[in-house]
Structure 1
């Protein structure tokens, strides 16, 4: 190679342009954060009066609902406009690539953690069958709904996805023989989509949170199905392609700041790994991401006064069941039609991205690329949906765990969360949407060669995010109402 073609090493002088671009980018981001903070400040009177989630009452909003919801939607819309000023691709890449490596905790720690997870699973099943019948006095119910689904799930997107190590079903399956049958490529992630929808349907409509023995039976059934699946297709294939819980945590783990790699524990800014190209690879995986967004929304919606009724108002469910629609059919139709509506809305946004972006890229390709941004929204709403429950019942868990077979008759509760706590829940929703807007922005600049193409391609996705922001804020701000007719679905 001649000297004419040899690349000169970078110097302080040659690095100044990139530093200037970084400085300009930081100033733009600072302006975006400043203006976004101002918009959040405008919303604060409403946020301060939002209450706790499921099972607790909320105070009414101190401002008109339309103003509260439009302010939340305006925050997301304004964040898109402000992010549009950040057009330096080098700066966008620098933000997403910033991070470092931490030392691996070691095999011994992982081995102990895996053994403990199997013990916890065994104790949960045993206490579910032989422990007290009262839900809040049974450790199995508290472990599943408070420690695991409320607390541990949050750790997968706030800290790191530790489920590959802690997954007790994987630990049980690995020593078993396997037929190692080929997994049909045409199936994609559709089995995990169906399994996720089934699990959430059971969680919402069956009394698994009130009947410890039923919960234990569901866990046993899930264990049998998982071990059978790993025996047929192999452990890696099953937990990579089929198991819905492993997929949920794998996706949530891309929102988290820490991730274990072959070189150690990688640290990045939260949500920045969502822009990677191979996270969502086909339509079935897009459907799973949308399902993850929908199931939490459905769980919240059926607990609102609009659906369940309150103060003499029968609600939508009461009106339709009173008109002769069977309750089981009504809940199922709303569940499936709502999910279909979410899918149509998202693929419609992808089609708008194709048209406004004026590109030869297909709708399905754009849907795959932008889908990971929705995971930040799902994480924010999941946190808002469960945070109050975890805090309120944390003393209950400690009290019952001290004597799981003979717990106190009235376990303690953390009563009276402060008035500002509702602001944390609603802020979690907004922050999740703001991260999603930035990830979509970074994805667009990675996909489209033209800056204006990248900006215009986000119109449809941003519109969907604004609408979903307003919907999720409305659900979180509503007082809880017990979903009606659920006992009759199962004859109890």
Structure 2
């Protein structure tokens, strides 16, 4: 025990020496973690695109079908008490939800000292999401909305005697629309700065979940419609720890994405929404967007129209680029499969890109605000003075590495999927030409956003 404590203390002291600790003087959470990239923009943009293209060539001409199959099929069983962990997850989830409501309504108004703000945005949206694609998906057990809405399902089953449902396709499209709506609310509303509003939003989301369960049933809502449940399920497919029907298994990261994680056009739309949602969150905090938005408003465009229009327009662009790649793949392969078949099969590879960009977008955010998170949770009603870690400039390079690693994993997943989908080696390789071009487009966009200094979005 002494040695373990000494190690922990050493890590804390070492991190403090390397990073430093600074008082946080108000402002938004975005500004509290502002850090510019220490790499020239032209260098990492050109390098990033070249790395993705080179990785495609390497995967295509160096590996063979047997090697790819061996990598994707490797797995090891992990003995864990699933039932005990599930109950522990429910307790943690409901307890965390109670903490968010209690401190949100009656806690400090300073967002950097309020446990609700710190838990939701730093602990959950940054830290827990990162743990989901880096380790495994624990959200089905932790999800407080799933736990608290179960009585509604029991009452509904007793009163009606049956449970309604919703089709997989419609549920996926609804999830995509709801996810984009959540991203828009996050951007345009002061949820990260007003704890009372954040607590009210949590209650509102619970009300939506209860209404959804009452209409379509508990299983249908959380398996097909609820955007958070689907988001964590998609991110969890990237992780090395996977839950199966016969237990928990360890796999190589992202290898499950070569399976049929997505099955419908609506599922494709949701994956693109995940990718675009994180990109949009970063885009609106760049100086380029601020200048563009001010120019449009000066030309007479109403300010309230800017953000929803950009959200919808960007999603359409990302969605069309991907479907263009699917249609072109039918020509370059060539194959009798239609574009929808290829779009559904290759869509999961985009989740590796989304995970890499999320890590790049939120790693510095999470590390910088972790002292404030710990202080607010340990003393929720009387937290200490908010502090942030001042990170060294080289940490910004981790974001670039995360984006590139996500795209490299996506290339590998697409390569494995192509071998599984097409019988011929050359056909499998040629099918990836358009998808690789689309991935280069996504890479350059993500890296450009990461390379920009963070500013407060205008007109909000």
* TM-score, normalised via structure 1 length: 0.84
Output the CA distance in 2 between the equivalents of 1:62 and 1:467: 20
Question: Equivalent residue for 1:281?
Answer: 263
Once the two structures are TM-superposed, the CA of residue 358 in structure 1 deviates from its matched residue by 0.9
Once the two structures are TM-superposed, the CA of residue 110 in structure 1 deviates from its matched residue by 2.1
Question: Equivalent residue for 1:260?
Answer: 243
Question: Equivalent residue for 1:42?
Answer: none
Question: Equivalent residue for 2:24?
Answer: none
Output the CA distance in 2 between the equivalents of 1:327 and 1:71: 37
Contact kept? 1:114, 1:165, Cα under 8 Å = yes
Per-residue CA deviation, residues 62-82 of structure 1 (Å, 9 max, x unaligned), is: 54x333201111000000011
The yes-or-no answer on 1:300 pairing with 2:318 is no
Q: 1:373 aligns with which of 335, 349, 358?
A: 349
Question: Equivalent residue for 1:108?
Answer: 84
SS at match of 2:389: coil
Question: Equivalent residue for 1:428?
Answer: 402
Once the two structures are TM-superposed, the CA of residue 141 in structure 1 deviates from its matched residue by 0.4
* TM-score, normalised via structure 2 length: 0.90
Question: Equivalent residue for 1:5?
Answer: none
Question: Equivalent residue for 2:440?
Answer: 466
* 4+ residue segments displaced more than 3 Å: 56-63
Question: Equivalent residue for 2:188?
Answer: 205
Question: Equivalent residue for 2:317?
Answer: 341
- Note closer, same or farther for the CA distance 1:130–1:303 as it changes in structure 2 (3 Å cut): same
Contact kept? 2:37, 2:450, Cα under 8 Å = no
Contact kept? 1:375, 1:436, Cα under 8 Å = yes
- Note closer, same or farther for the CA distance 1:186–1:292 as it changes in structure 2 (3 Å cut): closer
Once the two structures are TM-superposed, the CA of residue 104 in structure 1 deviates from its matched residue by 2.2
SS at match of 2:393: coil
- Which structure has greater helix proportion? 2
Output the CA distance in 2 between the equivalents of 1:186 and 1:260: 24
Contact kept? 1:178, 1:233, Cα under 8 Å = no
Compare 187-196 and 214-223 and name the one that shifted more: 187-196
Q: 1:132 aligns with which of 108, 126, 129?
A: 108
- Note closer, same or farther for the CA distance 1:186–1:160 as it changes in structure 2 (3 Å cut): closer
State the Cα RMSD in Å: 1.5
Contact kept? 2:349, 2:414, Cα under 8 Å = yes
- Note closer, same or farther for the CA distance 1:299–1:92 as it changes in structure 2 (3 Å cut): same
Once the two structures are TM-superposed, the CA of residue 446 in structure 1 deviates from its matched residue by 0.8
The yes-or-no answer on 1:476 pairing with 2:450 is yes
SS at match of 2:156: coil
What residue ranges of structure 2 are gaps of 5+ in the alignment? 1-28, 158-162
Output the CA distance in 2 between the equivalents of 1:59 and 1:106: 43
Per-residue CA deviation, residues 201-253 of structure 1 (Å, 9 max, x unaligned), is: 00011111111111111111100110121122221111110000000111111
SS at match of 1:317: helix
Once the two structures are TM-superposed, the CA of residue 326 in structure 1 deviates from its matched residue by 1.0
Output the CA distance in 2 between the equivalents of 1:168 and 1:113: 9
Output the CA distance in 1 between the equivalents of 2:186 and 2:295: 24
Question: Equivalent residue for 2:200?
Answer: 217
Q: How does 1:432-447 map to 2 (within 5 A)?
A: 432-447=406-421
Q: 1:272 aligns with which of 255, 278, 297?
A: 255
Output the CA distance in 2 between the equivalents of 1:429 and 1:186: 30
Contact kept? 1:384, 1:476, Cα under 8 Å = yes
Per-residue CA deviation, residues 384-419 of structure 1 (Å, 9 max, x unaligned), is: 1001111111111111222212223x312212x112
Per-residue CA deviation, residues 411-457 of structure 1 (Å, 9 max, x unaligned), is: 12212x11211111110000000000000011111111111111111
Output the CA distance in 2 between the equivalents of 1:483 and 1:123: 30
Output the CA distance in 2 between the equivalents of 1:324 and 1:129: 39
Question: Equivalent residue for 2:14?
Answer: none
Output the CA distance in 1 between the equivalents of 2:39 and 2:312: 35
Output the CA distance in 1 between the equivalents of 2:344 and 2:88: 38
Q: Determine which structure has more spread, i.e. the larger CA radius of gyration.
A: 1
Output the CA distance in 2 between the equivalents of 1:456 and 1:62: 34
Q: 2:156 aligns with which of 170, 173, 178?
A: 178
Once the two structures are TM-superposed, the CA of residue 60 in structure 1 deviates from its matched residue by 5.8
Contact kept? 1:159, 1:257, Cα under 8 Å = yes
Contact kept? 2:72, 2:256, Cα under 8 Å = yes
Once the two structures are TM-superposed, the CA of residue 173 in structure 1 deviates from its matched residue by 1.8
Aligned residue-pair number: 424
Question: Equivalent residue for 1:413?
Answer: 388
The yes-or-no answer on 1:403 pairing with 2:344 is no
Per-residue CA deviation, residues 139-197 of structure 1 (Å, 9 max, x unaligned), is: 10000000000000011100000111111111112233235113246624111111101
Once the two structures are TM-superposed, the CA of residue 319 in structure 1 deviates from its matched residue by 1.0
- Note closer, same or farther for the CA distance 1:60–1:368 as it changes in structure 2 (3 Å cut): closer
- Note closer, same or farther for the CA distance 1:185–1:165 as it changes in structure 2 (3 Å cut): closer
Question: Equivalent residue for 2:213?
Answer: 230
